[in-house]
Amino acid sequence: MRPSSCDTFVALPPSTEGQRIIFGKNSDRPCDEVQEVVYFPARDYGAGEKVECTYIEIEQVAHTHAVVLSKPAWLWGAEMGANEHQVCIGNEAVWGRESADGEEALLGMDLVRLGLERADTAEKAVTVITELLEKYGQGGLCMEDECGFTYHNSFLISDRKEAWLLETSGKYWAAERVEDGYRNISNQYSITTKIDKEHPEMRAYAQSKGWWDGKSQFNFATVYSFTTTARIEASGSRYCEGKKLLEKSNGHITAETMMDILRDKDSGINMEGMFMTTGSMVSVIPTDPDLPGVHYFTATPDPERSVFKPFIFVKNLHLLKETSSPSYGSDDPVKKKPRFQSKPDRKHELFVKHKLVAAIIESYKDRGRKITEGMRQLEKETMKAMENHLLYGVSSSEEDFLVNLFTSSVQKELSVYSKN
């Protein structure tokens, strides 16, 4: 198994239909890893409180925003998610000249969650993540075993008005603002000469290592990337295919467009095999601050055989039980040293039922077709209902229904399974 890992996309006006930003990501992880979708409400904290991330404890802030996350069930952070201010973040594994084999620190997935909990704009999320990177560093095993799978991270971050691409190498980083059009990232550095923010010592460090002569135009991707590896070539292929798919719908990109891209297997974006797409997300964010964002998550592997289910931030939201994995607290093998000596059962209810249905779809053509048609019909009906909120907002009388929006969509998905 050669781990690859993830494709993330963002489209902004005028590449989208209407005044909307469309964000999407496939999380590509080990095929036996469970990805859960969870909600955490906003919360206030006292002075001196700490927060325990995947491997290390760090200082907590006075207030964290409400977040919805799609995350590997064994760790604290997230592969992707959104917050109540409609900031969306997805991360990518990147490998370059700087070694990623360091001590345990913050995982890139921890930084995704921390950015969402602490920033109310995309640009502030860049600041949050880079300040944490400077203070605590990034490092630690990124799979639930002792295989030595480690990497640095890039992040695609969006809000109601713009997007930012943040790419890191150790504690060094560069960031590029994206104000219109579209952008995608796939496990390789892609910031070149347009650098809008950067670590103050990033260029000097590259020069000290002999990667840059200090005279030629500085190109972050050229300076910090490997010259060539099979992994970079594979991600480059997915990057090019993703860019082509975005270009194909340029000016008319919608949530459905993004879902189709994430479902595309010919491009390798919907990954199969030992490393596969284990969770997917698409967010629709109107630029009008009076309108809600709608965040769709699968919480199951293979978006082609999954339903994108909607989540809207409203008051008094309920926890997402059907897509929350069992918690083992201090007894979790991830928390004990040496780590990863065993793997507990992390399957949530939807994951269990989906795995059974996926096997039926694979093995029984007619039954599988009926199940898939039922799933697509459910998704279509749900998205039609969400369009009304995207156009006209959420009335106070509708909020009581929306507190269970995601959960009720999961239950409808389970109903489709049971009928077939």
pLDDT digits (tens, 9 = 90+) for 146-162: 777 888 999 999 999 99
Q: How far is CA 315 from CA 119, 291, 394, 404, in A?
A: 19, 15, 11, 11
Helix segments in 23-138, DSSP class H? 108-118, 122-136
| 333-367 tens-digit pLDDT | 999 999 999 999 999 999 999 999 999 999 999 99
Instruction: Determine whether 142 is an active site residue.
Output: no
Catalytic annotation, pick one of 6, 53, 88, 142: 6
CA distance 368 to 376: 12
Which token pair is 133?
């990177």
- Within 122-243, strands assigned E span 152-158, 163-169, 172-178, 182-185, 197-198
CB neighbours of residue 146 within 10 Å: 11
Environment class of 287 (CB within 10 Å of its CB; exposed 0-12, middle 13-18, buried 19+)? middle
What is the reported pLDDT for 234?
Answer: 55
CB neighbours of residue 415 within 10 Å: 11
Decide if pLDDT at 287 tops 90. yes
Which token pair is 325?
């994995």
| 43-87 tens-digit pLDDT | 999 999 999 999 999 999 999 999 999 999 999 999 999 999 999
User: From the DSSP assignment, how many helices (H) and strands (E) are in the chain?
Assistant: 10, 18
What is the reported pLDDT for 237?
Answer: 86
- Domains defined for the chain, CATH in brackets: 7-356 (3.60.60.10)
Decide if pLDDT at 231 tops 80. no
**Residue among 2, 1, 26 at smallest CA distance from 238:** 26
Q: Are 410 and 323 in contact (CB under 8 A)?
A: yes
What is the reported pLDDT for 298?
Answer: 98
Out of 68-77, 222-231, 295-304, pick the least confident. Answer: 222-231
**Residue among 203, 219, 197 at smallest CA distance from 123:** 197
Backbone dihedral angles phi then psi of residue 102, each to the nearest 5 degrees: -120, -175
**Residue among 57, 54, 173 at smallest CA distance from 112:** 54
Residue type, 114: L
Environment class of 399 (CB within 10 Å of its CB; exposed 0-12, middle 13-18, buried 19+)? middle
Percentage of the chain beyond pLDDT 90 is 90
Average predicted confidence (pLDDT) for the chain: 94
What is the reported pLDDT for 230?
Answer: 47
What is the reported pLDDT for 187?
Answer: 87
First-residue to last-residue Cα distance in the chain = 34
| 80-118 tens-digit pLDDT | 999 999 999 999 999 899 888 879 999 999 999 999 999
CB neighbours of residue 19 within 10 Å: 14
What is the reported pLDDT for 4?
Answer: 61
pTM of the model: 0.96
Band of the pLDDT at 419, cuts 50, 70, 90?
Answer: confident
Percentage of the chain beyond pLDDT 70 is 96
**Which residues does 108 contact at the CB level (< 8 Å), separation at least 6?**
77, 91, 93, 138, 142, 151, 152, 153, 155, 168
**Residue among 88, 87, 84, 70 at smallest CA distance from 324:** 70
Q: Are 177 and 158 in contact (CB under 8 A)?
A: no
| 131-189 tens-digit pLDDT | 999 999 999 999 998 777 888 999 999 999 999 999 999 999 999 999 999 999 998 99
**Which residues does 95 contact at the CB level (< 8 Å), separation at least 6?**
151, 152, 187, 226, 229, 231, 232
Decide if pLDDT at 400 tops 50. yes
Band of the pLDDT at 420, cuts 50, 70, 90?
Answer: confident
Q: Are 185 and 7 in contact (CB under 8 A)?
A: yes
